[in-house]
Chain A
Amino acid sequence: MATLTAPRIVLSRADYADSHTLSRYLATGGYEGLRKALTMFPEAVASEVDQASLLGRGGAGFPAGRKWSMLRKAPISYLVVNGDESEPATFKDHLLLERDPNQLVEGVIIAAYALQVSSVYIFVRGEFALGLERVQQAVNDAYELGALGSKILGSEFSIDVVVHPGAGAYICGEETALIEALEGKRGFPRIKPPFFPAVAGLYGEPTVVNNVETMSNLPWIINHGGAAFAALGGGRSTGTRLFALAGRVNNPGVFEIEMVKNTFRDLIYDPQLGGGVIDDKKIKAIIPGGVSAPWFGPDLLDLPLGQDEVAEKGSMLGSGSIVVMDETTCVVRAAWRITKFFSRESCGQCTPCREGSGWIERAMYRVEHGGGRMEDIDLLLDLCDNIAPGLTWPPQQTTICVLGPSIPSSVHSAIQMFRDDFVEHVTNGGCRHD
């Protein structure tokens, strides 16, 4: 049975039909966190977040407090919020942007105050037209309320927040590509080092980039204290987290549950969560953290939903998206479609990614559609190995950003776990699911 005793931190008002309005927000404790934060020293606010040990909710899982403290040595120029959620089957930030934009804006102001930054850009994925409108409305409302602008809420702190629309490019979720897009260029990830925009970010100046869900946690953390947040979850994975469950389940959706206290099985089968697999079919495989992550078989369903727990088994919790594939699923087709996605979204800067994604996609297409040869199976593994040598997880890096080494995950997993399915495709000259 799932453990569902933890409070809802970021989805506390998502059930109200008018959860996105300022009136609902103010009636449910809105802007109390900011008012409290403004009575504290900025470094005390940052230290609450540090104490919460809030891991960044974007995908890499880097502690938000540490991201901030690395910067405290130099004054920061910009805070950029990453709302470019595009990892396939991840749809939690979409929910937060549309359903609780005021909470995001309050979180952003708290972060800006802690970092003493006056210039903030909220980068929202272009395809989220409604999300863009609602965040812009929340920003407008905050100016009206005096929570944004000059000397906010009677304090000595001034801040400006700009909502910036993206235009459809997966790679802009990578923080340096996002900064390039914000500078009006193609979304090409920047060469590392420097590894962090904290050193050289927007316009070459020190910049902090944080995810939407990370920011949305801040009002609660300031209201209840970092210790209360850290008391939830376990190990390094503190607090609650949004999990986006999709695929062959009865009740797909975004669920806020305590980290570590629940397992993949709880999330998929609990009647209050995923509600089990469609038609009670058996699970064939799951993708534990976005399509960049290596797959798990049904033997790992009892693994707790924690960052380190999943990492120990050779994958990642990543963006918090879990895709369930059951016995009716053609894994070859699934892996081919994921590779097609990467091939389409590769920015084209690095050869292993630009060429490799296309090669793998074409070989996978041929296996799935009846033109496959037996030697294609090992050829595919070799291609994968050329992009991420050794096929370990975390992967070896051959490219500027992590998109490249993420390409092999699905194909490698599919061949490793279901080689027989590939052999069957080649022998039968196509897919029996067609």
Chain B
Amino acid sequence: MSHFRIDIRQRAEEVLALYPRPRSAMLPLLHLAQEQDGYVSDEGIAEVAELTLTTPADVRGTALFYDMFHLEPVGRYVVSVCTNIACLLAGGDELLEHASDTLGCAVGATSSDGLFTLEETECLADCNFAPCVQVNHRYVRTTTPDAFDTVVSQLRAGTLDHDVPPHGTLIRVRRAGGLHAPRAEVAAERSVASAAREARTPKEPK
């Protein structure tokens, strides 16, 4: 019995087909597991292990290396505030403190209503809008405490649902298209091209 919903399982199998070795699908599949459950659950880990021909311990060990994977439940909205150098110079620490007050939870914790998890994060590469804030890895560009509070009320009211999907949903654009020629045919094409190139290259005297 698959833990993944039918649609997630189908997408997982599409992802697997993109790599010569199943283990390469590890990160995309963990993102899918996180999309379904909102975090990377034990059941999700087991399913990723099955799909990548690895063990749950191996999957867990890999997932723990990456900051974006949460192995415990988090809020619907994960709020990441950057305090790295460019944001530090623009008041990132102060904004993080303010965020903690507004959301009513400590850094690294989840608010009591289960809606928000607050994180201090490293550089998010949006330094012209410092201090930089992402919600579920969507830039919200709220550089002042007031703007931050506005976004929080919009998130509570659900008016940002289109821009900010629930935590775990990363890529909403499905892959369409692909190289439908058999690999052997492509390999044959390559060897013809390489023979032609060989013929064009002037031979160096030995």
Query: Which A residues fall within an 8 A CB radius of B?
Result: 41-43, 75, 85-91, 93-94, 116, 118, 125-130, 132-134, 136-137, 139-140, 142-144, 148-150, 156-160, 162-170, 181-187, 203, 244, 246-248, 252-254, 287, 291, 321, 323, 325, 329, 333-334, 337-338, 341, 344-345, 347
Q: Which residues of A contact B31 (CB under 8 A)?
A: 126, 165, 167
Q: Which residues in window 23-75 of B have CB below 8 A to A?
A: 23-28, 30-31, 52, 54, 61-62, 65-69
Query: CB-nearest residue of chain A relative to B80?
Result: A127
Q: Is the CB–CB distance between A150 and B127 below 8 Å?
A: no
A244 to B138, CA, bound (A): 21
Q: Is the CB–CB distance between A127 and B68 below 8 Å?
A: yes
Q: Is the CB–CB distance between A88 and B26 below 8 Å?
A: no
Among the 9-residue stretches B5-13, B108-116, B151-159, B189-197, the one with 4 or more Cβ atoms under 8 Å from chain A is: B189-197
A89 to B92, CA, bound (A): 13
Query: CB-nearest residue of chain A relative to B62?
Result: A186
Q: Is the CB–CB distance between A246 and B28 below 8 Å?
A: no
A345 to B123, CA, bound (A): 11
Q: Which residues of B contact A248 (CB under 8 A)?
A: 89
Interface of A is mostly: mixed
Interchain Cβ contacts under 8 Å between A and B, 27 examples = A42-B193, A88-B123, A90-B123, A118-B186, A118-B189, A126-B137, A128-B137, A140-B173, A140-B176, A143-B176, A143-B177, A144-B177, A149-B177, A156-B192, A157-B193, A158-B179, A165-B27, A165-B170, A167-B27, A167-B68, A183-B21, A185-B23, A186-B62, A186-B65, A187-B66, A247-B89, A252-B86
Q: Is the CB–CB distance between B65 and A89 below 8 Å?
A: no
Q: Is the CB–CB distance between A338 and B85 below 8 Å?
A: yes
Query: CB-nearest residue of chain A relative to B59?
Result: A184
Kindly identify which residue among B85, B175, B181 contacts A136, using a CB–CB cutoff of 8 Å: B175
Q: Determine if B4 is an interface residue (Cβ-Cβ < 8 Å).
A: no
Q: Is the CB–CB distance between A184 and B88 below 8 Å?
A: no
Q: Determine if B124 is an interface residue (Cβ-Cβ < 8 Å).
A: yes
Q: A185-B23, A333-B88 are in contact. Are A149 and B179 (CB under 8 A)?
A: yes
Q: Is the CB–CB distance between A323 and B69 below 8 Å?
A: no
Query: CB-nearest residue of chain A relative to B192?
Result: A156
A183 to B27, CA, bound (A): 9
In the A-B complex, the 5 residue pairs with the smallest Cβ-Cβ separation, listed nearest first, are: A143-B177, A184-B26, A168-B67, A160-B179, A167-B66
Q: How distant is B24 from chain A, measured CB to nearest CB, in Å?
A: 5
Q: How distant is B129 from chain A, measured CB to nearest CB, in Å?
A: 9
Q: How distant is B148 from chain A, measured CB to nearest CB, in Å?
A: 19
Kindly identify which residue among A75, A287, A337, A344 contacts B88, using a CB–CB cutoff of 8 Å: A337
Q: Is the CB–CB distance between A160 and B123 below 8 Å?
A: no
Q: Is the CB–CB distance between A140 and B88 below 8 Å?
A: no
- Further 17 A-B residue pairs, CB within 8 A, beyond A89-B85, A337-B85: A89-B84, A116-B190, A118-B189, A127-B137, A129-B138, A143-B177, A143-B178, A157-B193, A158-B185, A158-B189, A162-B18, A164-B27, A165-B27, A169-B65, A184-B24, A247-B89, A323-B89
Q: Is the CB–CB distance between B27 and A85 below 8 Å?
A: no
Q: Determine if B149 is an interface residue (Cβ-Cβ < 8 Å).
A: no
Q: A41-B197, A158-B179 are in contact. Are A133 and B85 (CB under 8 A)?
A: no
Q: Is the CB–CB distance between B127 and A246 below 8 Å?
A: yes
Contact with A along B155-185 (1 / 0, CB 8 A): 0000000000000001111111111110001
Q: Is the CB–CB distance between A158 and B197 below 8 Å?
A: no
A75 to B139, CA, bound (A): 41
A377 to B84, CA, bound (A): 23
Q: Which residues of A contact B201 (CB under 8 A)?
A: 43
Q: Is the CB–CB distance between A169 and B67 below 8 Å?
A: yes
Q: Is the CB–CB distance between B128 and A252 below 8 Å?
A: yes
Q: How distant is A83 from chain B, measured CB to nearest CB, in Å?
A: 11
Q: Which residues of B contact A186 (CB under 8 A)?
A: 61-62, 65
Q: How distant is B134 from chain A, measured CB to nearest CB, in Å?
A: 7
Q: Is the CB–CB distance between A184 and B84 below 8 Å?
A: no
Query: CB-nearest residue of chain A relative to B176?
Result: A140
Q: Which residues of A contact B128 (CB under 8 A)?
A: 91, 246, 252-254
Q: Is the CB–CB distance between A127 and B85 below 8 Å?
A: no
Q: Is the CB–CB distance between B28 and A165 below 8 Å?
A: yes
Q: Is the CB–CB distance between A130 and B138 below 8 Å?
A: yes
